[in-house]
Amino acid sequence: MDLPTASVLLSPQPQACSHLAEPCMERERSSFTQELGRDSTFPRGQLPSSSLTDADWFWDEHIQAKRARVETIVRGMCLSPSPLAPGSTRARDSSCCPEKARERKRKQSLPVQQGSLKADPAWDQGPRKGGPPVKEQLHLLKQQLRHLQAHILQAPEPSTPIQGPGGSEQRKGPLRAKQRNSLRSSLCTMDNDPQQGPNKDLCEAMKTRMAEVKHQSEEPMFCPSGAQVLLEILRKELSRAVSQAVDSVLQQVLLDPLGHLTQQDRSFQGLAPGGRSQPSPSGRGAYKDTLDLATLPRTVQPQAGFPLGNLSLTRPLDSPMCPISPREVSKLYQSPLSNYPLTTVPSHIQENKILRQLLGHGPKGHWSVSPPQDSSSQSHSSPKSTQQHWVLSQQQLPLPFTPAHEENRPLLPSVKMEQDSLQAVADSLPFSSIHIQEGLNPGHLKKAKLMFFFTRYPSSNLLKAYFPDVQFNRCITSQMIKWFSNFREFYYIQMEKYARQAISEGVTNPKMLVVLRDSELFRVLNMHYNKGNEFKVPDCFLEIASLTLQEFFRAMSVGKDSDPSWKKPIYKIISKLDNDIPEIFKSSNYSLELFRS
């Protein structure tokens, strides 16, 4: 969509390239045709959206770990092979409407849990020593889990504003939106010079893209706090219930008091990274699928790989939700781990490993998929190879997404819900597990430079949002603002320079000034903000750059540059053309990965 725009723009006027860009026409044309065939790589949609399930996965794992322990114990001690009835099959969908769910959960799960040990007849059958109590405990536990599952499933759908007209729009201020709109139109009217056929395409393309971006930015986020509360409660309740069950079982079954660890230890270690100590793998393997929880969408074998291998983290991707949108990635990204109270202080190292895994899929569809265009038009720095390298560095281990995965995506409606709630949770989470730095490091600078491709005038709030691992204070904020000020300075200087050059070369029509990827101007800018060319410069930046160039040209060609403050109007225009920054930039881990050092 947006990609072709640049090429479209320039095609008709050979001269346009002569001064701005190096060699051009022929190549450009061909690249243009190529582009038509391919999809836009920009903002969203390209990436499989949703691996938020991973958070659930962790959760499941937790439960399963506990369950496995209980089962193992029971199995080992009681030798009663009665398979547990599969409970509710689908117990996923963490809901976002905490209220009701929470209410019901409290009313039901608590009483049940604390209730008498009335034995279910069905569970009393079979010979066993010390059996009944144990079974009862398990049964109760199961029931509780089922209740929870049921309630979660029943919980009224959260505001799924996506469809609702009354959905929660406006993540950005209305003002901002307005500005965008007005600018968009002005941009188009300007470009809609009848004489310039191709520019219409640009206009349309930009409209489309902007709409896209806008849409993206307005995606709903709902009650983060609510969802978080719900999750917290669920977590506590479940862990408590399980712990109690385990406790009881142990007390009743185990004769040797030394035989059982403290409840805390037992119930938590299963999830701790590197947490080994799972009783008997064989036992677990044999029965893990018999509990209802095992029927949950993602049956994961906790100890199998989570802690160490990390390779196992690719597992969750099998789920229907594996497709992940950058947005989701970034969110999810901060969530599951840092949010995980049960993992007692996982090492940052391991955490980062895991996060890297998850993240690995984000950037791929987004930035690294280098368009054919690049290979043809960018001769000097072989972007393709560098980008591929970047892809590899980002996702060494995980399996790449395959079309097969995509097929599954649309399936579950619950998926979206789950995503949302998890997103909400993620959003509300502090970066507890990610060391927040005092000052700014080179990585931050690098990231800021790349962000400049999207925003020339970031607000301090935006910066705070996109540098979550930075401890902002007046000084840091000023410094970062200063960075962008310097970026702009360079940017405008280049624009003025090239505009002046165009004038000196006799260019009369500003529309002929288009910044392309093989333009000298682009090369200079890219060198400045994206040294090493590790990043695929978004097309929106090319559009902005072209526009800036044209504005400078217009002003100068009319002699406005004699006015001391002739640039101000241009600044004003450009300041309104900031694009939304991909959510992926919000991830501090992303920055760690990509911008380290």
- Which parts of this chain interact with DNA (CB under 7 A)? 440, 445, 448-449, 457, 459-460, 474, 477-479, 481-486, 488-489, 492, 565, 567, 571, 575
Of residues 511 and 567, the one with the C-beta less far from DNA: 567
DSSP state of 162: T
Q: In whole angstroms, how close is the CB of 150 to DNA at the nearest point?
A: 49
**Sequence-separated (6 or more) residues with CB below 8 Å from residue 326:** 43, 44, 47, 362, 363, 365, 366, 582, 583, 584
Of residues 36 and 475, the one with the C-beta less far from DNA: 475
Q: In whole angstroms, how close is the CB of 559 to DNA at the nearest point?
A: 17
Of residues 282 and 562, the one with the C-beta less far from DNA: 562
Phi-psi region of 370 (alpha: psi -120 to 50; beta: other; left: phi over 0): beta
Q: In whole angstroms, how close is the CB of 44 to DNA at the nearest point?
A: 26
Q: In whole angstroms, how close is the CB of 442 to DNA at the nearest point?
A: 9
Q: In whole angstroms, how close is the CB of 524 to DNA at the nearest point?
A: 14
Q: Which two tokens stand for residue 87?
A: 């409970």
Burial 198-234 (b: 16+ CB within 10 A, else e): bbebbbbbbbebbebbbebbbbbbbbbebbbbbbebb
Of residues 32 and 484, the one with the C-beta less far from DNA: 484
Of residues 354 and 574, the one with the C-beta less far from DNA: 574
Q: In whole angstroms, how close is the CB of 440 to DNA at the nearest point?
A: 7
Residue spans of beta strands (DSSP E) within 412-538 = none
Of residues 84 and 581, the one with the C-beta less far from DNA: 581
**Sequence-separated (6 or more) residues with CB below 8 Å from residue 426:** 52, 55, 331, 332, 333, 334, 335, 336, 339
Of residues 396 and 461, the one with the C-beta less far from DNA: 461
Q: How much is the CA Rg of the chain, to the nearest whole Å?
A: 28
Of residues 125 and 459, the one with the C-beta less far from DNA: 459
Of residues 317 and 556, the one with the C-beta less far from DNA: 556
- CB 296 within 8 Å of CB 90: yes
Q: In whole angstroms, how close is the CB of 459 to DNA at the nearest point?
A: 6
DSSP state of 296: S
- CB 429 within 8 Å of CB 334: yes
Q: In whole angstroms, how close is the CB of 380 to DNA at the nearest point?
A: 21
Give the DSSP letter string of 66-128. HHHHHHHHHHHHH---PPPPP--S------S-HHHHHHHIIIIIHHHHHS--PPPHHHH-S--
For 235, 251, 441, the CA distances from 246, given in Å and listed in that order, are 16, 8, 48
Of residues 431 and 492, the one with the C-beta less far from DNA: 492
Q: In whole angstroms, how close is the CB of 236 to DNA at the nearest point?
A: 39
Of residues 59 and 452, the one with the C-beta less far from DNA: 452
Torsion, Cα of 348, 350, 355, 360 (10° steps): 130
Q: In whole angstroms, how close is the CB of 378 to DNA at the nearest point?
A: 22
**Sequence-separated (6 or more) residues with CB below 8 Å from residue 585:** 330, 447, 450, 451, 466, 591
Of residues 264 and 486, the one with the C-beta less far from DNA: 486
Q: Which two tokens stand for residue 347?
A: 């090492």
Q: In whole angstroms, how close is the CB of 460 to DNA at the nearest point?
A: 3
Give the DSSP letter string of 187-244. HHHHHT-TT-HHHHHHHHHHHHHHHHHHHHHT-----HHHHHHHHHHHHHHHHHHHHH
Distance CA 496, CA 567 (A): 9
Burial class of residue 433 in the structure, from the number of CB atoms within 10 Å of its CB (0-12 exposed, 13-18 middle, 19+ buried): buried
Q: In whole angstroms, how close is the CB of 452 to DNA at the nearest point?
A: 9
Of residues 82 and 441, the one with the C-beta less far from DNA: 441
CB atoms within 10 A of CB 308: 15
539-557 vs 568-575: helix axis angle to the nearest 10? 160
Q: Which two tokens stand for residue 354?
A: 């895991």
Q: In whole angstroms, how close is the CB of 148 to DNA at the nearest point?
A: 45
Identity of the residue numbered 220: P
